């Protein structure tokens, strides 16, 4: 809204003719001796309703020579506009502009001559994320908006071909003791002033009801917010907390990116091809895991299973429970439980595999402790290999260590032989003495390496012998299935109906026990037994290591 039209100026002027002259801030309005009444009527002032801007309005037809600074200033000040050097400057500029103004394009001429200073309202109390977390937060919001409108996979024509979209995390994952942001106190703001010089008060900021979870967050004196635990930073209304569990209501895909979380992870659906899910604790997945990678510090539970297509990988620090495994590599730090099939996989279990309903169709399983299956192999003779008491890496390590021991002993013996030859020579010289010292040092060095390796191998063998490897088959052990234990490889020449138990006797030979009637026979009756390639038997060890084995 605008106020003070030109007729109000005339009314004010008329009243002054019949009353004593009034002064305003040291300036009084008087009629210019040379300005006509008609010219005066063509000068007016318009002030916005909020009194933050005031304009001089000049109609066409005023004699520029008669339009003076004194008169225009008097008109402006009569509207209670505060005098200032800026006001004087702008009035002068207005008078000069009037002389060349094109009224055919813009009539009347309206010029801003006075401006107030708007108040700056105070900021409300707020929580501000660190720049790093703010970027993640904005990306997560963008992912939510785009999830239903954009394709699941990024465009092949992406401008940044080297950007791995899987590395874009949609979650604010924090460490314990990490600064995540700060609470900014409400401010009072800065008052403004209108064109009349009146104070315009600012609105003070409001105090927000920010609720910090005291169990997971703490506020320092400077307003900084730090985590007490590791996990996911969560906003729920005005409440801020750190959740030790990451819950994903859907798939792990491009909408979430790869997951690397310090706590437990729960995925309601599955994991798409090529994605990595890492947890410092446990992982629970409700749907199918495709050719992805799962790594947990503790347990992994797959409600469906993994279809790895030769690229899937699982590493469970403790236990793994799943419905089935197909075409994947799997390492389990403790126990493995599979309900149905294991097909074309490489599986290593550090303790026990208790899966009485599972069938090993083909692939390899290495179990240090007990292995329990429904069936191993198929009637078509697929290659199903079960290694008991060892893992392939262990055999490789032992063989390499034995090779090094043999070489060190040979070199030490060579040094000793040369020492004996030199000692038998009666010649004495400084060169001979130096050579004797060198040979003694080399012999001692090789013997020291040999002793260290012997101790390490003894400890490793002793650790594996803590478990009593045993295979239990409830339904059938099929022809062509392979059983490996103690460096031996047994290839089944015929099917054996269960329930049976295969283990090692006191002589290190494979035996087969019928759990139905309790009878026990040598496994060689059903299988062709040879030394396993790349493995070792107790006879391969030096005499002092054979005792440990």
Mean pLDDT by 10 residues, the chain (549 residues): 37 38 44 62 89 92 85 90 92 90 88 92 86 82 54 49 60 90 88 92 86 90 90 87 93 91 95 95 97 97 96 97 97 96 95 96 94 96 91 71 82 86 77 82 85 75 68 96 90 95 89 94 94 69 59
Structural contact between residues 503 and 513, judged by C-beta atoms closer than 8 angstroms: yes
- Residue 535 structure tokens: 């493995």
Cβ 231 vs Cβ 210: under 8 Å: no
Contact present, 258 and 167 (Cβ < 8 Å): yes
| Helix 430-464 / helix 392-424 crossing angle, nearest 10 deg | 160
Return the pLDDT at 450: 81
Looking at residue 107, what is its pLDDT? Answer: 86
Direct distance between the N- and C-terminal alpha carbons of the chain, in angstroms, rounded to an integer: 100
Asked if residues 317 and 335 have their Cβ atoms less than 8 Å apart, the reply is no
- Helix, strand, or coil (residue 111): strand
For the chain, the structural domain boundaries read 2-115, 121-152+165-243, 352-389+468-549, 394-464
- Are the CB atoms for 154 and 201 separated by under 8 Å? no
Cα 293 to Cα 270: distance, rounded to the nearest angstrom = 12
- The residue whose two tokens read 């900014």 is 184
Q: Are the C-beta atoms of 525 and 513 separated by less than 8 Å?
A: no
* pLDDT number for residue 378: 95
Q: What single-letter DSSP state applies at residue 220? A: -
In angstroms and rounded to an integer, the radius of gyration of the C-alpha atoms of the chain is 45
* Strand 336-338, strand 341-349: pairing: unpaired
CB 477 within 8 A of CB 491: no
Cα 136 to Cα 154: distance, rounded to the nearest angstrom? 18
Handedness of CA 32, 37, 39, 43 (dihedral sign): positive
Cα(311)–Cα(305) distance, integer angstroms: 14
Q: Are strands 496-497 and 482-485 parallel, antiparallel or unpaired?
A: unpaired
- Which single residue is written with the structure tokens 């985590």? 227
Query: Measured at the alpha carbon of residue 327, what is the angle toward residues 324 and 330, in degrees to the nearest 5?
Result: 75
Tell me how far CA of residue 232 lies from CA of 224, 268, 502, in angstroms.
18, 17, 48
Q: Torsions phi, psi of 66, nearest 5?
A: -95, -5
What is the rounded CA–CA span in Å between residue 490 and residue 503? 12
Phi and psi, residue 279, nearest 5°: -135, 140
- DSSP 3-state of 506: coil
Q: What is the pLDDT of residue 461?
A: 66
Q: What is the pLDDT of residue 142?
A: 67
pLDDT attached to residue 538: 64
pLDDT for position 245: 93
Instruction: Label the pairing between strands 470-477 and 384-388.
Output: unpaired
pLDDT for the residue 466: 54
């Amino acid at each position: 809204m605008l106020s003070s039209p030109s007729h109000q100026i005339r009314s004010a002027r008329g009243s002054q003719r019949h009353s004593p002259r009034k002064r305003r801030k040291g300036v009084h309005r008087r009629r210019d001796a040379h300005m006509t009444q008609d010219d005066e009527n063509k000068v007016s002032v318009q002030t916005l309703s909020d009194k933050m801007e005031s304009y001089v309005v000049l109609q066409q037809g005023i004699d520029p020579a008669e339009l003076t600074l004194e008169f225009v200033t008097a008109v402006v000040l009569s509207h209670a506009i505060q005098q200032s050097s800026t006001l004087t400057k702008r009035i002068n500029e207005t008078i000069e502009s009037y002389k060349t103004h094109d009224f055919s394009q813009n009539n009347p001429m309206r010029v801003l001559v006075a401006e107030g200073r708007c108040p700056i309202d105070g900021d409300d109390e707020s929580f501000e994320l660190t720049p790093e977390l703010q970027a993640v937060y904005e990306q997560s919001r963008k992912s939510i908006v785009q999830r239903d409108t954009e394709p699941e996979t990024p465009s092949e024509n992406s401008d940044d071909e080297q950007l791995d979209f899987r590395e874009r995390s949609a979650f604010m994952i924090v460490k314990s003791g990490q600064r995540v942001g700060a609470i900014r106190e409400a401010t009072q703001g800065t008052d403004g002033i209108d064109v009349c010089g009146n104070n315009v008060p600012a609105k003070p900021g409001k105090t927000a009801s920010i609720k910090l979870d005291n169990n997971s967050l703490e506020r320092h004196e400077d307003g900084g917010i730090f985590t007490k635990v590791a996990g996911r930073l969560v906003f729920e209304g005005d409440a801020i907390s750190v959740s030790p569990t990451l819950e994903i209501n859907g798939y792990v895909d491009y909408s979430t990116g790869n997951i690397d979380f310090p706590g437990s992870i729960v995925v309601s659906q599955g994991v798409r091809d090529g994605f990595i899910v890492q947890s410092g604790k446990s992982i629970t997945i409700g749907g199918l895991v495709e050719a992805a990678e799962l790594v947990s510090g503790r347990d992994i539970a797959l409600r469906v299973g993994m279809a790895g297509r030769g690229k899937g990988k699982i590493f469970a620090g403790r236990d793994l429970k799943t419905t089935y495994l197909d075409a994947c590599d799997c390492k389990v730090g403790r126990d493995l439980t599979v309900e149905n099939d294991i097909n074309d996989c490489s599986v290593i279990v550090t303790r026990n595999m208790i899966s009485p309903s599972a069938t090993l169709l083909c692939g390899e399983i290495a179990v240090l402790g007990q292995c329990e299956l429904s069936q191993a192999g198929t009637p078509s003779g697929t290659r199903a290999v079960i290694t008991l008491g060892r893992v392939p890496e262990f055999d490789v390590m032992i063989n390499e260590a034995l090779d090094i021991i043999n070489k060190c002993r040979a070199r030490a013996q060579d040094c000793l032989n040369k020492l004996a030859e030199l000692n038998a020579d009666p010649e004495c010289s400084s060169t001979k003495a130096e050579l004797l010292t060198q040979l003694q040092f080399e012999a001692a060095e090789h013997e020291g390496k040999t002793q260290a390796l012997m101790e390490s191998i003894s400890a490793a063998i002793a650790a594996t012998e803590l478990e009593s490897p045993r295979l239990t088959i409830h339904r059938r052990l099929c022809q062509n299935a392979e059983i490996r234990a103690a460096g031996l490889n047994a290839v089944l020449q015929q099917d054996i109906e269960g329930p049976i138990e295969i283990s090692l006797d006191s002589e290190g030979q494979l035996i087969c026990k019928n759990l139905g009637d309790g009878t026990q026979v040598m496994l060689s009756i059903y299988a062709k037994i040879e030394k396993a390639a790349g493995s070792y038997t107790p006879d391969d060890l030096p005499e002092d290591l054979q005792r440990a084995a």
